[in-house]
């Protein structure tokens, strides 16, 4: 999720370990602890553009790191918090209580990120799997804004009831996302069966900032198929078939080369949804896109990818983000969101 929502979730979870009089202090600690794991964005290298990609949502987001990370946050915040409480004339919190608030706040981060479609190493170091439950978009104002309003009122009025209501809203929205994703995946199966397409694997991911429009992906073993799927509770689902592209892997690159090694890292990040996107290629370079994400759910234009030169096998690849969203993509997104002209 975005950092603001992570801070809100951290503040909300910290409320579970505080007394009514300490709600604002617990929220403050929870906000910091909830956002702290995203400091992994500082891990980067000018000579390796994939390093930041590889270590974002890595060890700092793992369940095993929660006790350690929350201890670091508590050690930093406790002295400042005690001084502030004394200045305000409030009862000072013990280190154990600040650590509990930090622990609860940080515990929300990796789990909430795993609920998105990006991928989080939640179970590191036991496994290097990138967990993505695909229940909610990485940015979703319909989830975050009500949560912020309810939490703000709860802290302002010192109301544990309203804080509990905020928690119920978060649980309800994530449950709705799970329900919507299940319906979207059913539609993928029905569409593939109707088209006579064998399915090696498939996945449905929420489109940007909503739970109505989904990006469906089907891997038939040789090609990837993209679909836009509109799911409204109580209404018939709609499907727009999109692009079909050929899958590509590191086996197409020179063995034991730097570009093959970097390609393997990018394959792991993108869960092997890699393909060549020819409109971004030059005479010498290949552009390998991540097929999982596109602004228009039926489109093949990726949000990011890597550029490499197969004739220079020891040269590092470059991670790139394509140009900004086009008017055509924006119009297609809105049209599908409204439910017009579906083909299935």
Tens digits of per-residue pLDDT, 20-45?
888 999 999 999 999 999 999 999 99
Cis peptide leading into residue 105 (ω within 30°): no
Q: Whose structure tokens read 């198929």?
A: 225
- Mean pLDDT for 258-276 is 96
The average pLDDT across 337-341 equals 86
Which tens digit of pLDDT belongs to each residue from 198-239?
999 999 999 999 999 999 999 999 999 999 999 998 899 999
CA–CA gap between residue 311 and residue 315 (Å, rounded): 9
CB 16 within 8 A of CB 40: no
Give the separation between CA 57 and CA 67, rounded to whole angstroms: 17
**Residue-level pLDDT at 286:** 96
Nearest alpha carbon to residue 105 among 19, 2, 36:
36
Q: pLDDT tens-digit profile of 190-204?
A: 999 999 999 999 999
**Which residues fall within 8 angstroms of residue 342, CB to CB, at 6 or more apart?**
230, 238, 239, 240
Q: Above pLDDT 90, what percent of the chain?
A: 88
């Amino acid at each position: 999720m975005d950092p603001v929502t992570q801070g809100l979730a951290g503040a909300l979870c910290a409320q579970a370990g505080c007394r009514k009089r300490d709600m604002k202090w617990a929220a403050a600690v929870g906000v910091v602890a909830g956002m702290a794991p995203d400091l992994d964005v500082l891990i980067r290298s000018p000579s390796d553009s994939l390093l930041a990609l590889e270590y974002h949502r890595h060890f700092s987001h793992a369940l095993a790191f929660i006790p350690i990370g929350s201890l670091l946050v508590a050690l930093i915040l406790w002295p400042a918090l005690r001084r502030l409480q004394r200045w305000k004339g409030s009862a000072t919190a013990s280190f154990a209580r600040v650590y509990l608030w930090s622990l609860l706040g940080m515990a929300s981060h990796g789990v909430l990120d795993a609920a998105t479609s990006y991928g989080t190493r939640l179970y590191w170091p036991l496994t290097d799997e990138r967990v993505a439950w695909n229940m909610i978009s990485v940015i979703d104002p319909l989830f975050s804004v009500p949560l912020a309003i309810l939490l703000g009122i709860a802290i302002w009025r010192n109301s544990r009831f309203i804080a509990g209501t905020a928690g119920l809203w978060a649980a309800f929205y994530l449950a709705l996302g799970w329900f919507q994703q299940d319906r979207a995946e059913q539609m993928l199966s029905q569409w593939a069966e109707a088209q006579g397409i064998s399915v090696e694997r498939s996945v449905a991911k929420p489109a940007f900032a909503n739970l109505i429009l989904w990006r469906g992906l089907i891997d038939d073993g040789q090609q990837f198929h993209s679909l836009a799927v509109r799911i409204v509770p109580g209404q018939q689902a709609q499907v727009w078939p999109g692009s079909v592209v050929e899958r590509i892997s590191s086996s197409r690159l020179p063995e034991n080369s730097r570009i093959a090694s970097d390609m393997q890292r990018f394959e792991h990040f993108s869960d092997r949804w890699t393909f060549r996107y020819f409109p971004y290629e030059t005479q010498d370079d290949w552009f390998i896109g991540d097929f999982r994400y596109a602004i228009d759910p039926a489109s093949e234009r990726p949000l990011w990818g890597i550029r490499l030169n197969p004739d220079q096998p020891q040269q590092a690849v470059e991670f790139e983000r394509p140009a900004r969203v086009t008017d055509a993509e924006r119009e297609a997104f809105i049209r599908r969101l409204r439910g017009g002209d579906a083909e299935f």
